[in-house]
Amino acid sequence: VCVAGIIITTSKAALLAVFFLFTFYAIYRFHGRCGHRMRRVCGLTLKATLCLLFLYSVVPPIFAFVKPTALSDHLITDDLVVLAVTGSYVDRIENAWPIAYDLLSSPRQFASGRGIGGIGSPQLYFEADKYNSADNVWVYVLVDFGLIILIALAGYLLYQLYKSRLENHGTISLYILLLGLFIFGATGNFVESSALTISAGFMLGMWKREAKDVC
């Protein structure tokens, strides 16, 4: 029933999350019942999928910074389905994210960011004329905290993904955390969504607690 409701709303992020959650669960269950070689294949499959989802969340904002019209230049079609699926992405790449980058008024701010409240809901109270919804977690981090923190955060998450092993119980919590961050963070304001941040907090706590218990 919930999946049917999501389809009606055409929420692509929610549909992707449901699909990959079921896929991850099936692979995780299969991992516990197969031999050593297949276990490695299962682990590599999940890691590769998360890497692709990471690219899904980070590449469009890069296009928006380098060449905002890159997607629309290659997307000349009258197909209503294709336009419906890609329309929101094109709008973000060509309009929302470039405007967000314009908030960084100097090279120094690209390194350090504008500070907490520099983008998103706080702007409605203090600089409504510059308000930007920050519909991407990496754009949000860049504008608030700068490129240095952005690279450090992305590098830390990818390093934890690289060294993770499905044999460790806390790993599945890490994978679900990354799954939500990369899917919902690709086209939504992950940081200011209470439901997403509470869920991410639970996954982060379970991952760290179980990792500590193993040590």
Other residues' Cβ atoms within 10 Å of the Cβ of residue 125: 9
Dihedral sign computed on CA atoms, order 13, 57, 144, 101: negative
Name which of 95, 43, 45, 88 is nearest 68 in CA terms: 95
- Per-residue pLDDT band for 91 (boundaries 50, 70, 90) equals confident
185 contacts 136 by C-beta, under 8 angstroms: yes
- Per-residue pLDDT band for 69 (boundaries 50, 70, 90) equals confident
At 161 the pLDDT is: 94
User: pLDDT tens digits for 94-133?
Assistant: 888 999 999 998 788 888 899 888 998 999 888 889 999 8
User: pLDDT tens digits for 167-176?
Assistant: 887 888 999 9
Distance CA 128, CA 167 (A): 49
DSSP string, the chain: -HHHHHHHHT-HHHHHHHHHHHHHHHHHHHHTTS-HHHHHHHHHHHHHHHHHHHHHHHHHHHHHHH-TTHHHHT-----HHHHHHHHHHHHIIIIIHHHHHHT--SHHHHHH-S-TTSSSTTHHHH-GGG-----SHHHHHHHHHHHHHHHHHHHHHHHHHHH--TTSTTHHHHHHHHHHHHHHHHHS-STT-HHHHHHHHHHHHHHHHHHHHH-
Name which of 38, 29, 50 is nearest 162 in CA terms: 50
Distance CA 30, CA 43 (A): 11
User: pLDDT tens digits for 154-202?
Assistant: 999 999 999 998 888 788 899 999 999 999 999 888 999 888 999 999 9
Name which of 165, 162, 141, 143 is nearest 152 in CA terms: 141
Distance CA 51, CA 47 (A): 6
